Amino acid sequence: MDHTTCLFEHLLGLTLSTAHAPTSSWLTVLATSAVLLISCWQWRRRRYLQLASKLPGPPTYPIIGNAMMFATRPDEPLQICSELTERYNRNPFKIWIFFEFSVVVMKPDDVEMVLGDTKQFRKSIQYENFRSLMGGGIFTSTHFGQWRHSRKLMTPAFHFTILKGFLGVFFEEASILADKIERDYNGESVNCLPLIGLCTLDTICRTAMGVSVNAQNGGGGDFVRDLETVLQIWQNRMAKVWLSIPFIFALTSMKSVHDVAAKKVLGFTDKVIQKKRLRLKQEKSQTFVESSDDVSDKHCKMAFLDLMLESGMSDIQLRDETMTIIIGGQETTSTELSFALLMLALHPNVQEKVHEELDAVFGEDCRTAPSLFELNSLEYLERVIKETMRLYPALPAIGRRLQENIHVGQYEIPAGVDVGIFIYETHRDPATWGLQPHLFDPDNFLSDKCRQRHPYSYFPFSAGLRNCIGQKYALLQMKSVLSTLLRRFTLSPGPGHRCIEDIEVVMNTTLKSKKGFNVVFELRNNNSVQSCA
């Protein structure tokens, strides 16, 4: 008997037994009505249930489906899905949460059926959490026309000519990070994620809003703290599936903490937008006088917000898109940078090649900002970054709510179902990446090898219509930060990891290493900042 039928009969059984209770007749009426209602509902969903019954999936409990599996291991949704991937031999499988099922796919052909289909534009229910800060911005948007309009307005802001103007900011912030490591941690082990997180936060605030929150030097105050609070609560809601139900979340104390923090973060962004609008107006009427209250970053005159300000977007749209860029561009890059440093620390032969490449491009100079040409010439470093994103994609899974039925392999999945695209496992498929797909090998990204692969076998920035708008930005920033650090330091692994097999991953807003990112930084050839000035 399939699990759907089990669920159905359990529901009926439960209600019927109540109906048999020797109580007054209104109870019988109530029970009979409930049976009828459930029967009608199940009858109307019969096609949905029939298609579900054909898909493999773990055994379910009545009513709650597979929710217990996630509730008992709240820190391990990724591990659970990886175990199921292996159990079902990389074929699509279903997961029941209460009365709805989702399907997880990871084979390149199956991924293509979803991401390659422009009709499957809508994101899955989990993205609703993000609306408290991103509103209807392009990451969360569910309305095709609105999304296309905003994406069209925003795309020119991510052109290379604009990104080139950010190189100075990328380098300045990376240098602050390198100075701090040299001053406070030279020769010591440090968990580099928090340090890098502040660096990417400063960078994204400067390039998105043109405002320096100065988090690396202890600035940013409420904005940084409140943003952190909201992200932490989002993470909690994602890990504990029941908290993603608004009614249940509203019963917890987390809801009010979340709402207060989110309101303050949005208030900060609103203020920046108002000041920028005023400044623009004054500049146009030539009445602008610089004041101490001026929010603009002197070194980043053309932030994304400045570019979007004249696009005709309303203040709410501007706020949604600015927050979308900040959230989309901060955690993701800090996660990938931290994994890249850990990979380099664990693979001295790879690190040596990176050093050779940097020395060939920059010589002994470690104080000058790299040009776009120099960053583009760092081909080996780029392969290191790509390989890091293969093994540790910052967003290990993404989701779509199907707008039309699709076929994946021998299965039909009905419209309305959420499909999880399990990037993490696509990137570790032995059919694509060989018998030891968990090993770190930047040569996986030699151009000959890339050409031979399925186009949907590697997509850390997603693929298709709703791919990452910030991917060029991210690659440039990551190259800038890694080259700045590696021009100055040699890395070795800190406590917790002696080899790649020691790394255990966990979902915490983005993918993270369970034991942290402990790395020992040592100045190269005993160079001090003074000697390489």
Asked whether position 333 contacts ligand HEM by CB under 6 A, the answer is yes
d(CA 244, CA 250): 10
d(CA 414, CA 52): 9
Asked whether position 441 contacts ligand HEM by CB under 6 A, the answer is no
CB 305 to ligand HEM: min, Å: 12
Site map (CB under 6 A) of ligand HEM, residues 23-62, x = contact: ----------------------------------------
Asked whether position 101 contacts ligand HEM by CB under 6 A, the answer is no
Q: Applying CB under 6 A, what is the total number of residues that bind ligand HEM?
A: 23
Q: Which residue is nearest to ligand HEM (CB)?
A: 470
Instruction: Name the residue type at position 455.
Output: P
Q: Are 273 and 238 in contact, with CB atoms under 8 Å apart?
A: no
d(CA 404, CA 440): 38
Quote the tokens at residue 270.
Answer: 């609103």
> Alpha helices, DSSP H only, in 423-470?
423-426, 430-433, 447-452
Q: Which of 92, 329, 420, 494 binds ligand HEM (CB under 6 A)?
A: 329
Asked whether position 392 contacts ligand HEM by CB under 6 A, the answer is no
Per DSSP, the three-state class of 420 is strand
Asked whether position 336 contacts ligand HEM by CB under 6 A, the answer is yes
**Residue 395 or 413 having the CB closest to ligand HEM:** 395
Asked whether position 138 contacts ligand HEM by CB under 6 A, the answer is yes
Asked whether position 173 contacts ligand HEM by CB under 6 A, the answer is no
CB 346 to ligand HEM: min, Å: 20
Neighbours of 295 (CB within 10 A): 17
Q: Which of 468, 481, 505, 523 binds ligand HEM (CB under 6 A)?
A: 468
Asked whether position 3 contacts ligand HEM by CB under 6 A, the answer is no
Options 6-14, 60-68, 376-384, 394-402: segment touching ligand HEM (CB under 6 A): 394-402
Q: Are 244 and 125 in contact, with CB atoms under 8 Å apart?
A: yes
Q: Are 329 and 204 in contact, with CB atoms under 8 Å apart?
A: yes
Asked whether position 206 contacts ligand HEM by CB under 6 A, the answer is no
Which residue ranges are tagged as binding site for heme?
468
Options 253-261, 270-278, 455-463, 483-491: segment touching ligand HEM (CB under 6 A): 455-463
User: What's the DSSP call for residue 366?
Assistant: -
CB 502 to ligand HEM: min, Å: 23
d(CA 490, CA 344): 9
CB 200 to ligand HEM: min, Å: 8
Quote the tokens at residue 315.
Answer: 């203040």
Asked whether position 458 contacts ligand HEM by CB under 6 A, the answer is no
Neighbours of 435 (CB within 10 A): 6
**Residue 462 or 527 having the CB closest to ligand HEM:** 462
Site map (CB under 6 A) of ligand HEM, residues 275-314, x = contact: ----------------------------------------
Asked whether position 328 contacts ligand HEM by CB under 6 A, the answer is yes
**Range 336-354 burial, b when 16+ CB lie within 10 A, else e:** bbbbbbbbbbbbeebbebb
> Phi-psi bin for 187: left (phi > 0), alpha (psi -120 to 50), beta?
left
Asked whether position 469 contacts ligand HEM by CB under 6 A, the answer is yes
Asked whether position 461 contacts ligand HEM by CB under 6 A, the answer is yes
d(CA 320, CA 329): 14
CB 104 to ligand HEM: min, Å: 15
CB 32 to ligand HEM: min, Å: 45
CB 281 to ligand HEM: min, Å: 27
d(CA 233, CA 246): 13
Residue 492 pairs in a beta bridge with: 520
d(CA 50, CA 47): 5
Helix, strand, coil percentages, rounded to 5, for the chain: 60, 10, 30
Asked whether position 332 contacts ligand HEM by CB under 6 A, the answer is yes
Asked whether position 420 contacts ligand HEM by CB under 6 A, the answer is no
Q: Are 354 and 328 in contact, with CB atoms under 8 Å apart?
A: no
Q: Which of 90, 94, 123, 401 binds ligand HEM (CB under 6 A)?
A: 123
Asked whether position 426 contacts ligand HEM by CB under 6 A, the answer is no
> Alpha helices, DSSP H only, in 363-470?
372-376, 379-391, 423-426, 430-433, 447-452
Asked whether position 139 contacts ligand HEM by CB under 6 A, the answer is yes
Binding site for ligand HEM (CB under 6 A): 123, 138-139, 151, 324-325, 328-329, 332-333, 336, 394-395, 398, 460-462, 466, 468-470, 473-474
